[in-house]
Amino acid sequence: MQPASGQAFVGRGFKYGMVWPAVLVILLIGLFPIVYTAIVSFQNIDMFGEDTSFQGGVHYARLMGDARFWQSVLHTMIFLVVALPLELVLGLLLALLFLDRLPGKQIFVALLILPVVTSPIIAGSTWRLLFDNRYGPINQILSWLTGEPATVLWTVNPVYVYPAILLAEVWQWTPFMFLLLLAGLSNVDQSLNEAAELDGAGFWKTFWYVTLPIIKPVILIACLIRALDLFRLFDVVWALTRGGPGTMTETVSIYAYVLAFKQFETSYAAALAVVIIVLLSLVVMAALRRVEFAR
Amino acid sequence: MNCRTILATAVSATAILASLPALAQSAAERAVEAAKQYAGTEITIVWEAGLQALDPLNFSGPKWKELTGIDVKVIEVPTAEMFTKILQEHRAGTGAYDALNVIPSWMADLARAGALEPLDPYVDKYGYRDELQTIAPVYRDNQMLVGDTIYGFPDDGDVFVFYYRTDVLGDPEIQAAFKEAKGYDLPVPPTDWQQFYDVSCFITEHTGGKPYGAGLFRDPPYAQQMFQERFRVAGGKFFDPETMQATVNSEAGVGVFQSMLEENKCMPPGVETWGFVENLAAFLQGDTAMTISWPPYGRWAAGYGLDQEAFSWVPKSQIAGKVGYALTPGGHPQLASGFSLAVSSDSNNKEAAYLFIQWLNSEEVSIDRVQLPYALRDPFRDSHFTSEEYKSRWPEAPQYLEALQAGAVSGILDLSLLQTDRYEEALRQGISRLWAGEDPQAILDDVAAQWDAITERVGVDAQREAYLDWSSKPNAYPN
């Protein structure tokens, strides 16, 4: 028996009534800051003056011609394209290693994920101490190995600043890749691998043609999460170099921070944030389509 | 004399007699008496995080509570974030802070933003004007006013001091070898930067780096303050006052950059990363024979108060009794940073906040505060420099106080403009590029271009007015 239309309406209304508070909260928390940031980006707000007048797209036009902004995008991309593959490959190798039963596996896994649970600013500060010329063990070890005093200025010399930051970054986030990929690999049906082996496929062929396609969605999601994180890279760089020497390692996030909280250019920083939000949203949408496709 | 006259005279005499106890009171006592009406309330004060904050946490806060019944809540903020936090709270209008510690070079920005309460009415109301006059002139005349209005009480005699090892520079064998090598007597201490360079490199070479001739701040946030000093000592001016074009890339600026690079070659490897702690550790452990820093180095080098728990991180001094104190080469040390006490314009308890800072800053209380070994407040009143109690703190304390007093006469101010930190940030970046091996002239041309862009952004006329106000102060440039 079909319910009467009035009852259906009451039922639907009740459902919407139950849902709307949650939707409202999500909109307030998630959408409002973005909308407000967008509004601010068209105004003329800084921390020193009272002027909040509408400025149109002035800040966006200025941003397009801001060499420091584009340099910060470039630096961010360098970190992204170097760190992401490194973390992926190292994470995958570790996951393959820990896929089999190993003595003390649980202890090793627990130790491996310690960097992930460390606050990035703490990790960065720790690496700064490790790299310190006077007190740090890294130069000390290099001195032992080379037999002469090693004075590598990791956070000053342009040759070493990128390797130093990347080392800290890869150290901290490879375990994250490892965990996701280990979970993905653990869910691969072993009968498929066994069938491939029976057909005469070796380890690498089995891995390439059987395992990898199965865990591809997991890899894409892991890469997407890490790529977004790397695009927001701040803490480790700030702790190690503060974006220096000069602005040589300044990322987009650091530049946004400097604009908003050091130079107090609130509206200009908001314009930068909006551009980044739009760019990242496009990347995320494209990546999610790829994940769907991979399924 | 009629009855009315007698009566009037009697009333006047009674009034004068009644007010005598108040007039006899010190500024500190007046503040305490007036503050008692706020007993049971709480005031918040922003203080630099770390050792500095131990003053209100361990000493002045509890004492104020005991005297007035007012609680003092200390909000510790790292120096680099203090300006931002104060400005943000003001913009948000939270009233979260009652009293403030502000670096004097920020006062122009904070006052113009309306974040600071003008103090003149309170100063007159609580009779503090006379005691303000006994603050050493360099601080009183430069770090108290914005325009003609009092916005802060200078409360910290921060000045760069030149420290040298008397046993090394005074070593007859080193002195003889130096004279033979350089053709003139080893200057103890060096009085210009060429002498400093000669002595530093000679000691490093002669002793094989045990100790090195010198170690200096080279981490950009510190080094930019040293650059500001040396640039002006070398005759440099920051701006053309007519056009407000930056002139930091002048011959003087490039010369200082080149000298700094050359000096590094005679200093310990890795000196480019040295900040406050690295430089301190090297000097206290006897690894360097000369250095420049704020006044606390001198107290700690003498071992003053180092047995306290707060100093567990400071290396034990290996050089107590072997340290001399002097003006920095060139004779015009930077009055680097410093602190003034101020009241937040958003405070809901301005009167109590003011009374607290008057009490802190007073002759009576400040003499105790500048002798707290852990609190980093340095002598800033005439009476501090001549205090017999302070002079008795360690054998060389009289010479130490003499050096500080000399610095308080010839010291030169931090640059203070509208949005000063943006100019300093460009300089900090320039110094990090200098250590990275870039060309000094190219770096400073770039810094000058950035300064011009900032000036344009802030507004040339407004910035000129701020610069002229700053540069008209007696200690903006060497006299």
pLDDT in tens, B169-214: 999 999 999 999 999 999 999 999 999 999 999 999 999 999 999 9
- When the candidates are 3.40.50.300, 3.20.10.10, 3.40.190.10, 2.70.150.10, the CATH number that belongs to B26-154+340-376 is 3.40.190.10
**Per-residue pLDDT for A43 more than 90?**
yes
Q: What is the pLDDT of residues A48-105, one digit of tens each?
A: 888 889 999 999 999 999 999 999 999 999 999 999 999 999 999 999 999 888 888 8
Query: How much is the average pLDDT of A228-248?
Result: 95
CB A80 within 8 A of CB A165: no
Q: Give the pLDDT confidence score for residue A215 in this predicted structure.
A: 94
The DSSP secondary-structure symbol of A115 reads H
Query: How much is the average pLDDT of B62-88?
Result: 96
Signed CA dihedral, B209, B213, B217, B218: sign only? negative
**3-state SS class at A99:** helix
Q: Give the pLDDT confidence score for residue A283 in this predicted structure.
A: 87
Residue in A48, A155, A261 closest to B109 by CB: A48
Q: Do A248 and B273 touch (CB under 8 A)?
A: no
Paired tokens of B163: 């420290």
Which residues does chain A have within 8 Å of residue B437's beta carbon, measured at their own beta carbons?
A: 157-158
CB B399 within 8 A of CB B322: no
Query: How much is the average pLDDT of A39-55?
Result: 90
CB B148 within 8 A of CB B120: no
CB B116 within 8 A of CB B344: yes
How sure is the predictor about B2, in pLDDT bands with cuts at 50, 70 and 90? Answer: low
State what percent of residues in chain A have pLDDT above 90.
73
Paired tokens of B17: 């007699």
Domain ranges of chain B: 26-154+340-376
Q: What is the pLDDT of residues B109-120, one digit of tens each?
A: 999 999 999 999
**Per-residue pLDDT for B249 more than 90?**
yes
Q: Any idea which of A45-49, A192-196, B168-172, B460-464 has the lowest mean pLDDT?
A: A45-49
**Fold of the domain built from segment(s) A65-294:** MetI-like fold (1.10.3720)
Rounded CA-CA distance B123/B341 in Å is: 13
Rounded CA-CA distance B26/B24 in Å is: 6
Paired tokens of A39: 């509004």
What's the mean per-residue pLDDT of chain B?
93
Q: Please indicate if any CB of chain A lies within 8 Å of the CB of B63.
A: no
Paired tokens of A237: 């760089």
Q: pTM for the complete prediction?
A: 0.89
How sure is the predictor about A16, in pLDDT bands with cuts at 50, 70 and 90? Answer: confident
Query: How much is the average pLDDT of B463-476?
Result: 93
Q: Can you give the three-state secondary structure of chain B, one letter per residue?
A: CCHHHHHHHHHHHHHHHHHHHHHHCCHHHHHHHHHHHHCCCEEEEEEECCHHHHHHHHHHHHHHHHHHCCEEEEEEECHHHHHHHHHHHHHHCCCCCCEEEECHHHHHHHHHCCCECCCHHHHHHCCCHHHHCCECHHHHCCCCEECCEECCEECCCCCCEEEEEHHHHCCHHHHHHHHHHHCCCCCCCCCCHHHHHHHHHHHHHHHCCCCECCCCCCCHHHHHHHHHHHHHHCCCCCECCCCCCECCCCHHHHHHHHHHHHHHCCCCCCHHHCCHHHHHHHHHCCCECEEEECCHHHHHHCCCCCCCHHHCCCCCCCCCCCEEEECCCCCCCEECCCCEEEEECCCCCHHHHHHHHHHHHCHHHHHHHCCCCCCCCCCCEHHHHCCHHHHCCCCCHHHHHHHHHHHHHHCEECCCCCCHHHHHHHHHHHHHHHHCCCCHHHHHHHHHHHHHHHHHHHCHHHHHHHHHHHHCCCCCCCC
Rounded CA-CA distance A63/A70 in Å is: 9
Q: Give the pLDDT confidence score for residue B4 in this predicted structure.
A: 56
Pairs across A and B, CB distance < 8 A: 67
**Residue A219 Cα, gap to closest chain B Cα (Å):** 39
Q: What is the pLDDT of residues A132-150, one digit of tens each?
A: 988 899 999 999 999 988 9
Instruction: List helix spans (H) across chain A.
Output: 5-26, 32-41, 58-64, 67-99, 105-112, 114-117, 120-131, 137-146, 158-186, 190-198, 203-206, 212-231, 235-240, 252-257, 266-294
Q: Please indicate if any CB of chain A lies within 8 Å of the CB of B459.
A: no
Q: Give the pLDDT confidence score for residue B416 in this predicted structure.
A: 93
Q: Please indicate if any CB of chain B lies within 8 Å of the CB of A262.
A: yes
State what percent of residues in chain B have pLDDT above 70.
95
Q: Give the pLDDT confidence score for residue A14 in this predicted structure.
A: 87
How sure is the predictor about B216, in pLDDT bands with cuts at 50, 70 and 90? Answer: very high
Q: Give the pLDDT confidence score for residue A81 in this predicted structure.
A: 97
Which residues does chain A have within 8 Å of residue B432's beta carbon, measured at their own beta carbons?
A: 156, 244-246
Rounded CA-CA distance A256/A234 in Å is: 10
Q: What is the pLDDT of residues B303-319, one digit of tens each?
A: 998 888 888 888 889 99
Window 276-295 of A, Cβ < 8 Å to B = none
Query: Parallel, antiparallel, or unpaired for β B290-293 and B153-154?
Result: unpaired
Closest to B157 in 3D by CA, of B389, B396, B400, B355: B400
**Per-residue pLDDT for B25 more than 60?**
yes
Closest to A252 in 3D by CA, of A272, A279, A266, A229: A272
B77: exposed, middle or buried (C-beta count within 10 Å: 0-12, 13-18, 19+)? Answer: buried
Show Cβ contacts of residue A233 under 8 Å, excluding neighbours closer than 6 positions: A76, A79, A80, A169, A251, A253
**Per-residue pLDDT for B17 more than 60?**
no
Q: Give the pLDDT confidence score for residue B8 in this predicted structure.
A: 54
Rounded CA-CA distance B154/B406 in Å is: 17
Query: How much is the average pLDDT of B416-420?
Result: 93
List the beta bridge partners of residue B101.
B341
Range with the largest mean pLDDT of A159-168, A206-215, A286-295: A159-168
Closest to A139 in 3D by CA, of A156, A125, A151, A122: A151
Q: Do B113 and A149 touch (CB under 8 A)?
A: no
Q: Please indicate if any CB of chain A lies within 8 Å of the CB of B314.
A: no
Q: Give the pLDDT confidence score for residue A293 in this predicted structure.
A: 61
Cα dihedral B372/B373/B377/B381 (nearest 10): 60
List the beta bridge partners of residue B77.
B48
Which residues does chain B have within 8 Å of residue A247's beta carbon, measured at their own beta carbons?
A: 429
List the beta bridge partners of residue B343.
B99
Signed CA dihedral, B418, B422, B426, B427: sign only? positive
Q: Any idea which of B223-232, B371-380, B400-409 has the lowest mean pLDDT?
A: B371-380
Paired tokens of B271: 């000196």
Q: Give the pLDDT confidence score for residue B9 in this predicted structure.
A: 56
Q: Residue A33, preceding bond cis, omega within 30 degrees?
A: no
Paired tokens of A232: 């927001």
Question: What ipTM was estimated for this complex?
Answer: 0.85
